Amino acid sequence: MGPRPIIEAVPNSKIILISQAPGRVVHEKGKAWADQSGKKLRQWLGVDENTFYNTNNFAILPMGFCYPGKAKTGDLPPRKECAPLWHEPVLNKLNKVQLILLIGSYATNFYLPKDGRNLTQRVENYNEYLPQYWPLPHPSPVNRFWRAKNPWFEEHLVSELQTKITKILK
């Protein structure tokens, strides 16, 4: 599979989704979050596809812009050069951002302080990173064990996230 960068943003994007990297299905379709992970993410955010894919609402900026390839379980890590090279110039062009959702450990480790917390602790203490960032687990089906082990996330935090998203998009 050759390179097929996946990034979507306009200067007026209100919410930025920073995640790992496109998966195989997304690479093949050429559309961000067009897989089971995207379906779960939209459910967490409380938005339909039209709202989600409206770039005035959501910018999509992965840590790695292209599919990194298959690993033993899941995908390989995102390429290391994309985020340090391209995120700042892209973010500087977005002037209406009200929230950055950091999805998964690659994004949270890159953007949040090196405070010794793991992803679960960061998600639990999301309010400490507001108003700029909101850390989230990755919605991948591979991550279903994390969700089963941490039911508080979908039972309590998802509704708080949906409230925040609704306020921003109104």
Parallel, antiparallel, or unpaired: how do β-strands 133-136 and 99-103 relate?
parallel
**Tally of CA atoms within 13 A in the half-sphere of 59 that contains its CB:** 24
Distance between CA 107 and CA 18 in Å, rounded? 6
Q: Starting at the edge strand that comes first in sequence, how are the strands of the sheet with 133-136 ordered?
A: 58-60, 15-18, 99-103, 133-136
Per the rule left: phi > 0, alpha: psi between -120 and 50, beta: everything else, 30 is left
Distance between CA 65 and CA 60 in Å, rounded? 10
Q: Is 8 a member of any domain?
A: no
Distance between CA 58 and CA 89 in Å, rounded? 17
Q: Do 65 and 157 form a contact (C-beta atoms < 8 A)? A: no
Q: What is the dihedral of CA 80, 84, 87, 93, to 10 degrees?
A: -160
Q: Domain containing 82 — which CATH number?
A: 3.40.470.10
Q: Exposed, middle or buried, 169 (CB in 10 Å: 0-12/13-18/19+)?
A: middle
Number of domains in the chain: 1
Residue in the block written with tokens 């996230």: 161
CA distances from 144 to 11, 24, 36, 137, 138 (A): 34, 19, 12, 10, 9
Q: Which domain holds residue 87?
A: 15-169
Q: Is 1 a member of any domain?
A: no
Q: Residue-wise pLDDT tens for the chain (170 aa)?
A: 777 788 999 999 999 999 998 878 787 888 899 999 999 999 999 999 999 999 999 999 999 988 877 888 777 888 889 999 999 999 999 999 999 999 999 999 999 999 999 999 999 999 999 999 999 999 999 899 999 999 999 999 999 999 999 999 99
pLDDT the model gives residue 76: 81
